[in-house]
């Protein structure tokens, strides 16, 4: 059983008090997220369909007596300390760069940040494709809003956190994770238009259906460089075809321009165009409770990520294949990798009544194949970041 938010908050307070010998004044929380469909589309100004999950990162904090920020975590033995009043640079420990980047973002907006002592606790698996870094960034930004009294407009807050990831963690990510973690609503998916940065809420509260997340517990090397390479390939296709982003391209225009593209660029662009269409269709299907259609689109998304975008791996393919073999008769409607890829999690749409059996069957088969246990859990769509 994973810890509830209440217990996690108690734990963060307790550890804070042990470390700093007084209770925290603030507790800021942000969830992880899972993306149902719309993968590698966000930085192409496309559509995504994530929801926040019932896994959280909490930052507990209190004012310091000087202008330094000290931050420790239940997930790492290494602490960080830096000046809140001077220019901040990335450094070690690496996990603290997400927090530093957010503090730097407030400074850049002319918001002075005072000295703080802080403690982080989290139930979002680290590096598992469930936006653990966005959860830490957005929890930190939520804390700083409370501390400074400067409340950012939510989209700006998400963009400040995205910027932190770009400059302090070196990952040129899109806006999906920070946006979902900031703006998510209980019982809903967010259909985000990453071009306009507007969103629609898609209710996802049929008690008969569940979102099953399976963490492969592998993370392959080169994830960051492969991500940056995919982004660059997409931008190159857009440049060659004379559009601002792949969002501006349609299938006939891509086919017409195919001769001028290298085959890899063409495949990448085709994934993005088709994935955008699938995401809109899936949102529609979920709205009308058409689970078989939503599930089919998830399988198609996975195949495209595997074959055209080439960001899957054997472990993720295996998990999706096992889900497919259980099939609709066994309660699985659809399954796909979720997040950046090269490890991390799959997300599956399952009938609630069959969840237990599905989880244990896939767990056993994965263990037999790779000698490693995956982590399996269900999540309802949770709310976005807040003060506790
Ligand atoms: C990571 C990034 C997101 C998005 C996904 C792929 O999670 O942080 O911005 O690009 O990969 O869809």
CATH at 113: 3.30.230.10
Residue nearest to atom 9 of ligand 1 (CA): 174
What pLDDT digit, counting tens, does each position of 309-318 carry? 999 999 999 9
Output the pLDDT for position 207: 96
Ligand 1 atom index nearest CA of 133: 8
What pLDDT digit, counting tens, does each position of 23-79 carry? 999 999 999 999 999 999 999 999 999 999 999 999 999 999 999 999 999 999 999
Residue 380 lies in a domain: no
d(CA 175, CA 115): 29
Residue 134 lies in a domain: yes
Ligand 1 site, CB within 6 A: 39-40, 42-43, 173-174, 176-177, 339-340
Other C-beta atoms within 10 Å of 375: how many?
15
Output the pLDDT for position 221: 79
Output the pLDDT for position 228: 96
Whether the pLDDT of residue 222 is over 80: the answer is: no
Residue 259 lies in a domain: no
What pLDDT digit, counting tens, does each position of 144-193 carry? 999 999 999 999 999 999 999 999 999 999 999 999 999 999 999 999 99
Query: What residues are labeled active site?
Result: 177
Structural domain total, the chain: 1
What pLDDT digit, counting tens, does each position of 70-111 carry? 999 999 999 999 999 999 999 999 999 999 999 999 999 999
Q: Ligand 1 pocket check: which of 45, 177, 226, 310 to mutate, most ligand atoms within 8 Å of Cβ?
A: 177
d(CA 88, CA 95): 15
Output the pLDDT for position 95: 97
Q: Is the dihedral of CA 286, 287, 292, 293 positive or negative?
A: negative
Q: Ligand 1 pocket check: which of 40, 135, 175 to mutate, most ligand atoms within 8 Å of Cβ?
A: 40
Output the pLDDT for position 177: 98
Residue 32 lies in a domain: yes
Q: pLDDT > 90: what percent of the chain?
A: 97
Residue 130 lies in a domain: yes
What pLDDT digit, counting tens, does each position of 111-152 carry? 999 999 999 999 999 989 999 999 999 999 999 999 999 999
Residue 357 lies in a domain: no
What are the CA-CA distances from residue 306 to residues 73, 182, 295, 299 (Å)? Answer: 36, 29, 17, 11
Output the pLDDT for position 1: 74
Output the pLDDT for position 335: 98
Residue 284 lies in a domain: no
How many angstroms is it from 321 CA to the middle of ligand 1? 23
How many angstroms is it from 171 CA to the middle of ligand 1? 10
Q: What's the length of the chain?
A: 388
What are the beta bridge partners of residue 379?
Answer: 211
Residue 58 lies in a domain: yes
How many angstroms is it from 353 CA to the middle of ligand 1? 31
Domain that holds residue 24: 5-203
Burial 15-24 (b: 16+ CB within 10 A, else e): bbeebbeeeb
- Confidence band for 379, pLDDT divided at 50, 70 and 90: very high
How many angstroms is it from 174 CA to the middle of ligand 1? 6
- Confidence band for 224, pLDDT divided at 50, 70 and 90: confident
């Amino acid at each position: 059983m994973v810890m509830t938010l209440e217990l996690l908050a108690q734990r963060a307070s307790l550890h804070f008090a042990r470390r700093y010998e007084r209770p925290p004044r603030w507790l800021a929380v942000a969830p992880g997220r899972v993306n149902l469909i719309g993968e590698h589309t966000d930085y192409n100004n496309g559509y995504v369909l994530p929801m926040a999950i019932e896994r959280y990162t909490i930052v507990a904090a209190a004012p310091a007596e000087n202008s330094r920020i000290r931050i420790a975590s239940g997930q790492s033995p290494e602490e960080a300390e830096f000046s809140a009043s001077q220019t901040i640079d990335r450094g070690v420990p690496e996990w603290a760069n997400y927090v530093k980047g957010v503090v730097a973002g407030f400074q850049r907006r002319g918001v002075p940040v005072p000295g703080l002592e802080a403690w982080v606790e989290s139930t979002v698996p680290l590096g598992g494709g469930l936006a653990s870094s966005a959860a830490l960034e957005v929890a930190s930004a939520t804390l700083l809003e409370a501390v400074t009294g400067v409340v950012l407009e939510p989209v700006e807050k998400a963009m400040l956190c995205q910027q932190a990831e770009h400059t302090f963690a070196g990952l040129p990510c899109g806006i999906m994770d920070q946006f979902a973690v900031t703006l998510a609503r209980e019982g809903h998916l967010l259909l985000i238009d990453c071009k306009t940065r507007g969103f629609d809420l898609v209710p996802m509260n049929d008690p008969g259906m569940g979102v099953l997340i399976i963490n492969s517990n592998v993370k392959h090397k080169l994830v960051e460089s492969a991500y940056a390479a995919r982004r660059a390939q997409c931008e190159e296709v857009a440049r060659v075809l004379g559009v601002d982003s792949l969002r501006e391209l349609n299938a006939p225009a891509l086919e017409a321009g195919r001769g001028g593209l290298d085959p890899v660029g063409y495949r990448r662009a085709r994934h993005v165009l088709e994935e955008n269409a699938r995401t809109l269709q899936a949102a529609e299907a979920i709205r009308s409770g058409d689970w078989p259609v939503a599930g089919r689109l998830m399988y198609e998304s996975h195949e495209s990520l595997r074959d055209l975008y080439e960001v899957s791996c054997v472990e993720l393919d295996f998990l999706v294949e096992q889900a497919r073999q259980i099939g609709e008769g066994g309660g699985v409607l659809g399954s796909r990798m979720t997040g950046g890829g090269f490890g991390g999690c799959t997300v599956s749409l399952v009938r609630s009544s069959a969840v237990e059996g599905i989880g244990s069957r896939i767990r056993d088969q994965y263990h037999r194949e790779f000698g490693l246990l995956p982590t399996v859990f269900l999540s309802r769509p949770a709310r976005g970041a807040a003060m506790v």
